[in-house]
Structure 1
Amino acid sequence: MKKFLIGLGVVVLVLAGFVVKTLADAGQFKSLSPHFAGRCTPVSGMPGAEDITFHPTLGYAYISSDDRRATMAGHPVQGGIFRYDPASSAPPVLLTGAFSQPFHPHGIGLFVAPDGTQTLYVVNHAAPGDNRIERFEVGADGMLVHRKTVKDPALVSPNDVVPVDAERFYVTNDHHYPPGVMQVVEDYLQLAIGNVLYFDGKGFREVVNGTAYANGINHSADGRTVYLAQVLEKSLTVYTRDVDSGALTQRLKLPLGTGPDNIEVDARGDLWIGCHPKLLDFVAHAKDLSGATRAPAQVLRVKASGDKLEAEEVFLDDGRQISAVATAAVSGKWMLLGPVFDKDMLRCELP
């Protein structure tokens, strides 16, 4: 009996230690002090504006919108890609009204060719287990024209995509397992078994493995540096890209102390990252169909100077103004904050 009690005590201690570690790793013990030196106003009409990317010179943004609450409730609503100019009073414009296939967009990436031709790649969770990458071109009227669908068994759980030209792109698999019990196990045991894929115009190959919830991905203006956000590792990884082969070689890693989501790069080369400082709050927010359970929202600006990276917290909210920001996209004085689930995104004027 004594040995049994001792063994039971050891098991209890191990489990307690695991719970405390999980809470600490998720950021649940953090004390948050909301702040932002600028001002923000809500913009409606684009629920679940999970990813946003600005045209590099024209001042407007492309926004990936999907009502994930409706899908979770069993009544999926067709998602869309919108164009929005924060400097204008005009409302957002739906660009994918002519796209009739099932469309539930997630991450997006824009390539602008030297002649001005715009190619937009979109992660599309068309149906459970049916993950696709859609390629659109911007027509003369500004609407998106669908050009290609890429499907492959390697797209297990695609999250974000970044093109390097009109034909080639990188895409992150945030999990090794598809949605289900094993994916939950993967998360709570913090298993680093995700990856990054490279599509060379003909097929996929793995270029990074062993990632802990690979999420946002982007690259520098010259295309020679690739940035990767890993949520569970709470880090930003920087890779040197071989322009010819697409191979990625890790150069450095910056601990962020928070769960980074999407990465956007501004005209100066600075990185803007939407983050989830309390990951279990995000999980609770994601599961609540009513949206009443809120999660904090955070934005980091990472200044990159060669191999020197410096992170600064620009925005922090406790979830009252906006919950679970996935993306912070910046152009000039404007910052657009896109939430994973909220009905409204935020249009912010930087100080």
Structure 2
Amino acid sequence: MGKLLALTLLGASLAFLGERLLAFRERINASREVEPVELQNCHLVEGLEYGSEDIDILPNGLAFISSGLKYPGMPDLAPDKPGKIFLMNLNEENPKAQALKISDGFDKESFNPHGISTFIDKDHAVYLYVVNHPHMKSTVEIFKFEEQQHSLIYLKTIKHKLLESVNDLVVLGPEQFYATRDRYFSNFFLSFLGMVLDLRWTYVLFYSPREVKVVAKGFNSANGITVSLDKKYIYIADVTAKNIHIMKRRNNWDLTQVKVIQMDTLVDNLSVDPETGDILAGCHPNAMKLINYNPEDPPGSEVLRIQNVLSDKPRVSTIYANNGSVLQGTSVASVYRGKILIGTVFHKTLYCVL
């Protein structure tokens, strides 16, 4: 009787897991085909061959790019090469990508950069904050950018139990930032199982030297994060739930949800157009191809623009879409004065003049 009951429970559990797996495949657009939307005046950026997972552009047109991410379950075209931070000057007629030198005192060989965010202080000094995954752990690194030396001066590594398995961050003040926790780097199997079962167990946290706390919960897989031009709202992508959360920032750094914008694609990193305030989203139109990578049938790329974010009916339009023949696994897009950089998790980078 006991064995029969155990077999019955096992069968029911497997049937339930199978049903959830099928639902998960449907949710992440396993079989979606991409309708191409191409841009003119584009070329692939030389030297950025192994990913450009996140991009942050300063008001003066200097673009920081994180490259070489080693990510659980994702393709890796350069497994023996450490990650790097690249710089492009978008004011140049033909901008080139150059890897920034990193000062001594930092473990460059285990550098595994993920989400990035810049901060400019009152003296106009530029600081770069980088989510790093050395040895598949999670830290936040702080660098000072030295433009004349074309280098990053290593300042500090931040560790905290709430910063385990962080994905992206947005800096609002000196050592004050919001970050998304996605659980991938704490336990990839449990993270994947959580996505399959549609568990809402990832969150957004706030960090400062004085206080570290969870400020928003209930995400299936919290991913990209950025801030509105007026600094009043925080935008958060929930990649496998296919939506963007608009959160109001309180004086105590807590976040209150204003609305959720539902999408038809998996939203990765977010940026804000500095001229219009629109959200730009790097998206995965058929993410199962990203998980089960086949270079003969590669994952597509998609970039969306979300206008009138706070209105009752935000307008979503496609800026760029490709079936993987040019760009695979888009993770981010960022604009500056009529120019756009489109980055990927592990593949190449596209630069276009709009």
Structure 1 length as normaliser, TM-score? 0.87
Structure 1 stretch displaced more, 47-56 or 85-94: 85-94
1:318 is the counterpart of 2:320: no
The count of residues paired between Structure 1 and Structure 2 equals 339
Contact 1:302 1:310 in 2 (8 A): yes
Residues 1:137 and 2:144 are matched in the alignment: yes
1:121 deviates by 0.7
1:51-66 superposed matches below 5 A: 51-56=54-59, 58-66=60-68
Give, in whole Å, the separation in 2 of the partners of 1:26 and 1:190.
12
CA contact (8 A) 2:75 2:346 kept: no
Structure 2, unaligned runs of 5 or more: none
Counterpart mapping for 1:1-351 below 5 A: 17-46=19-48, 47-56=50-59, 58-66=60-68, 68=70, 75-86=79-90, 87-99=92-104, 100-101=106-107, 102-128=110-136, 130-139=137-146, 141=148, 142-175=150-183, 178-242=186-250, 244-267=251-274, 268-285=276-293, 291=295, 293-304=297-308, 306-308=310-312, 309-342=314-347, 344-350=348-354
Tell me how far apart the structure 2 counterparts of residues 40 and 135 of structure 1 sit (CA, whole Å).
33
In structure 2, relative to structure 1, the CA distance for the partners of 1:182 and 1:240 (3 Å cut) is same
Give 3-state SS (helix, strand or coil) of 1:24's partner. helix
Once the two structures are superposed, residues 88-145 of structure 1 have per-residue CA deviations (whole angstroms, 9 ceiling, x without a partner) of: 43532222332541311000011223442212110000112x2110111222524221
Answer whether contact 1:336 1:347 (CA < 8 A) is retained: yes
| Cα offsets for 1:267-292 (capped at 9, x unmatched) | 1211110001112112112xx6xx55
| Cα contact 2:332–2:343 (8 A) shared by 1 | yes
1:216-249 CA distances to partner (integer Å, 9 max, x unpaired)?
000012211100000111000001101x311100
Could you list the structure 1 runs, at least 4 aligned residues long, displaced by more than 6 angstroms after superposition. 6-13
Which 10-residue stretch deviates more, 170-179 or 11-20? 11-20
Contact map agreement 2:66 2:115 (CA 8 A) in 1: yes
SS at match of 1:127: helix
Percent of paired sites with the same residue: 28
SS of corresponding position for 1:299: strand
Name the CA distance, whole Å, in 2 between partners of 1:254 and 1:246.
22
- Post-superposition shift, 1:61? 0.6
Contact (CA 8 Å) 1:194, 1:209: kept in 2 or not? yes
Label 1:349 to 1:74 Cα distance change in 2 as closer, same or farther (>3 A): closer
Aligned partners of 2:282 and 2:303 also within 8 Å = yes
Q: What SS does the aligned partner of 1:154 have?
A: helix
With over 3 angstroms needed to count, the CA separation of the structure-2 counterparts of 1:191 and 1:14, relative to structure 1, is closer
2:33–2:323 contact (8 Å) kept in structure 1: no
Distance 1:199 1:9 in 2: 45
Taking the aligned partners of 2:15 and 2:82, their CA distance within structure 1 comes to 48
Specify the SS of the correspondent of 1:49. coil
Deviation at 1:156, TM superposition (A): 2.3
User: Deviation of residue 72 (structure 1)?
Assistant: 5.7
AA aligned opposite 2:84:
G
Q: Secondary structure at the match of 1:187?
A: helix
Deviation, structure 1 residue 333 = 1.4
- Alpha carbons of structure 1 residues 38 and 153: separation in structure 2 relative to 1, 3 Å: same
CA distance in structure 2 between the partners assigned to 1:305 and 1:26 by the alignment: 24
Q: Distance in 2 between matches of 1:191 and 1:337?
A: 30
> Deviation digits for residues 188-219 of structure 1, max 9, x if unmatched?
21211001110023342111112111000000
Cα displacement (A) at 1:306: 3.8
Aligned-pair CA distance for 1:24: 1.7
| Structural RMSD (CA) | 2.9
Flag the 1:176–1:322 CA change in 2: closer, same or farther, 3 A. Answer: closer
Deviation at 1:74, TM superposition (A): 9.7
Cα pair distance change 1:278/1:84, threshold 3 Å: same
Cα offset, 1:16, TM superposition: 6.2
Task: Please give the alpha-carbon distance, in whole angstroms, between the structure 1 residues aligned to 2:78 and 2:338.
Answer: 39
Q: What 5-or-longer segments of structure 1 have no aligned partner? A: none
